[in-house]
Amino acid sequence: MQKRNFIMKTRRILSVLLIVTALFSTSCGSKSDNSAPKKAKNVIVMIGDGMGPAQVYSLILTSQEQTAFERFPYSGFSITKSASNEITDSAAGGSAIANGTKTNNGVVGMDPDSIPVPSMLEIFAEQGKKTGVVVTCSVTHATPADFIAHNITRKDNEGIALEISEKTGLDVLFGGGKKYFTERKDSLDLLGKMWENGWNIYDSLSQIEDNNAKTMVLACRRHMVKAPERGDFLPDATAKAIEMLDNENGFFLMVEGSQIDFACHDNDSTTLVEEMRDFNKALNVVLDFAEKDGNTLVVVTADHETGGLTIVDPQGKYTRTDFKWTTGSHSAVFVPVFSYGPGAENFSGVMDNTVIINKIMDVAK
């Protein structure tokens, strides 16, 4: 009898303990639910066109100092295949990053049925954020076009220029490609029309006077010259864009290391390293701002790898490193994703390129 009482008492004590534990864990749970994760006011997406793991490693091997890539607390891998091909091109690869939908190679900002899909730049503009794009290629080229245009083919540079000239919700556009605005088959004066619509348009960053006006810099007829001949255009343009876009409602900026891809198509190892150095400078500009700001999510990735680059000792003796290129085209390998700032932890692991936009939208405010 006594023994039974003892057991019942023990059971009662145990159940009280369980309830107390449950209460505590609920209150702890609800407490952490209330302290919502930090949101990002600003979002900066940086795309190294053609930048696979070996391209990043080529910079690390040739740098005396720590590279910007080593400043990111989180990293992951992105799956880049397109709707039509296991090996994507920049149009479909960038489109998936920009709007979260796989499309066919060659298509810009549309799904495989040619229905336009809004890009994150357009969604952020709709939400009242300032937006900008900085590249070293023509502003009508596939990657920038994925964020600011919708066209069934990346080859339609003049059509994409026309769309840009009529675009609302874009505040800053720096790159090349003037000829598609001024030397057109339809003879339209797109730049004249844009000036009338309130745009300031210049040939160089140094001509910018009004930080608050919508501003386009077209620094050359088509693509800019390669690094290091073009100087610090990319890091300087990135710094200027941030200065012009930063405002209380936040901003979205896309910065592209456009010509990493060009160097890799040419299997030009020396230029690849120069292009990576240039992109690295732009990354440091962005990270320095994000560190100071504290409200900026930075996501760096690539649309695909170019050149099938690997770095080996041809004799297999571990004594030297040679760059070995296996194609003049793109390849189907993982590309890296690096992230910094509020929500950066969501970008680790293996992810499809189409989920990057969701992860960004989840943390943006």
If the CB atoms of residues 97 and 242 are measured against Zn ion, the closer one turns out to be: 97
Chain position whose Cβ is nearest to Mg ion: 143
CA distance linking residue 31 with residue 207, whole number of Å: 52
The yes or no reply on residue 256 touching Zn ion (CB under 5 A) is: no
> Least distance (Å) from Mg ion to the CB of residue 338?
18
How many chain residues are in contact with Zn ion, going by CB under 5 A? 2
If the CB atoms of residues 93 and 235 are measured against Mg ion, the closer one turns out to be: 93
Name which of residues 257 to 296 contact Zn ion (CB under 5 A). 261
Give the list of residues 6+ apart from residue 326 with CB closer than 8 angstroms, or none.
307, 308, 309, 310
If the CB atoms of residues 236 and 261 are measured against Zn ion, the closer one turns out to be: 261
> Least distance (Å) from Mg ion to the CB of residue 186?
25
What does 171 interact with, of Mg ion, Zn ion, none (CB < 5 to 8 A by kind)? Answer: none
Mark the segment that binds Zn ion (CB under 5 A) among 149-157, 170-178, 179-187, 302-310: 302-310
Q: Are 228 and 278 in contact (CB under 8 A)?
A: yes
Question: How many residues are recorded in the chain?
Answer: 365
Q: Are 306 and 264 in contact (CB under 8 A)?
A: yes
Residue 82's SS3 state is coil
What does 143 interact with, of Zn ion, Mg ion, none (CB < 5 to 8 A by kind)? Answer: Mg ion
What secondary structure does DSSP assign to 36-54, as a single string? PPPPBSEEEEEEETT--HH
If the CB atoms of residues 78 and 90 are measured against Mg ion, the closer one turns out to be: 90
CA distance linking residue 40 with residue 359, whole number of Å: 11
> Least distance (Å) from Mg ion to the CB of residue 189?
27
Catalytic positions, written as ranges: 90
Going by C-alpha positions, the residue among 186, 218, 191, 189 that lies closest to residue 202 is 218
If the CB atoms of residues 306 and 346 are measured against Zn ion, the closer one turns out to be: 306
How many helical (H) and strand (E) elements, i.e. helices and strands, does the chain have?
12, 14
- Measured in whole angstroms, the distance separating CA 17 from the mean position of its chain's CA atoms is 51
> Least distance (Å) from Zn ion to the CB of residue 224?
16
If the CB atoms of residues 215 and 306 are measured against Mg ion, the closer one turns out to be: 306
Instruction: Report the interface residues with Mg ion, using CB under 5 A.
Output: 49, 90, 143, 258
Q: Are 299 and 257 in contact (CB under 8 A)?
A: no
HSE-CB of 308 using CA atoms within 13 angstroms = 9
Tell me which residue has tokens 């357009």.
122
Mark the segment that binds Zn ion (CB under 5 A) among 20-28, 123-131, 282-290, 299-307: 299-307
> Least distance (Å) from Zn ion to the CB of residue 262?
7
Which two tokens mark 160? Answer: 């994409």
Q: Are 275 and 263 in contact (CB under 8 A)?
A: yes
Mark the segment that binds Zn ion (CB under 5 A) among 180-188, 230-238, 306-314, 347-355: 306-314
> Would you give the binding string for Zn ion spanning residues 128-167, x where CB under 5 A is met?
----------------------------------------
Which two tokens mark 192? Answer: 């004249």
Which two tokens mark 42? Answer: 């600003």
> Least distance (Å) from Mg ion to the CB of residue 210?
29
Q: Give the binding site for Zn ion (CB under 5 A).
A: 261, 306
